[in-house]
Structure 1
């Protein structure tokens, strides 16, 4: 063996495992029959920001973003045709990704922009009030 690690058939390679850690376990955030979307998430002082890789799509007609019960779902569909002298090739698929929004996020006020193959979604998250709140007691 001389220091080499033998891979068992059917077991993922180390790069595959790193991909799972980076993107979540396969199908953990997707709908069956669809493909996942690679994303980056960031929580700033005022907003939750999600950036998604979606090259080769028309955002006006191929992207749907919904928020339901604190879960943001991104759905995109891509159809691409490549023509060569001797053949034509279609590449297509439906891509989805769902993420739970942080507590207090205002999903109804989300904005989205698309540029250079990246979709950026910003969801306002109001600043949490720290300190003590006094609750008055009414006499009845």
Structure 2
């Protein structure tokens, strides 16, 4: 019930509530990503603006998935004692993305530039799959 109540926080606008509802896990994780394949390399770009990658970002392989963890720390400046409003998101964020079978963990690299974390890994060549074959159904 407590999870349901966070959707009805009266400080949020109706538009923001609808956006959060339809964004699902992406909004909950706080890390937006894009995935592409360039040649034989899987490229994952994660949007992490304003985060120090050396202190606040962790990239790991967990159970065959790429796990990106980040933490954004809140710095509060309150100029007026009677009011304060912030729409920034602070806290810990985690995003897990499935990796292709056979990825060699030693070949994965990560770089950070201009608020974007980029993770690259060669995509292993898949073994030739046997051709499709129709199975006849026998009547009893």
- Give TM-score, length-normalised by structure 1: 0.63
User: 1:56-100 CA deviation, whole Å, 9 max, x = no partner?
Assistant: 110001011110231111100011314354368796211110011
Higher strand share: 1
1:15-94 maps to which residues of 2 (within 5 A)?
16=19, 20=23, 26-27=24-25, 35-83=29-77, 85-86=79-80, 92-94=90-92
- Give TM-score, length-normalised by structure 2: 0.63
> Structure 2: any 5+ residue segments left out of the alignment?
1-7, 9-13, 131-140
Count of residues in Structure 1 that have an aligned counterpart in Structure 2: 112
Higher helix share: 2
- RMSD between superposed Cα atoms in Å: 3.4
Structure 2 CA distance for partners of 1:111 and 1:105, relative to 1, 3 Å: same
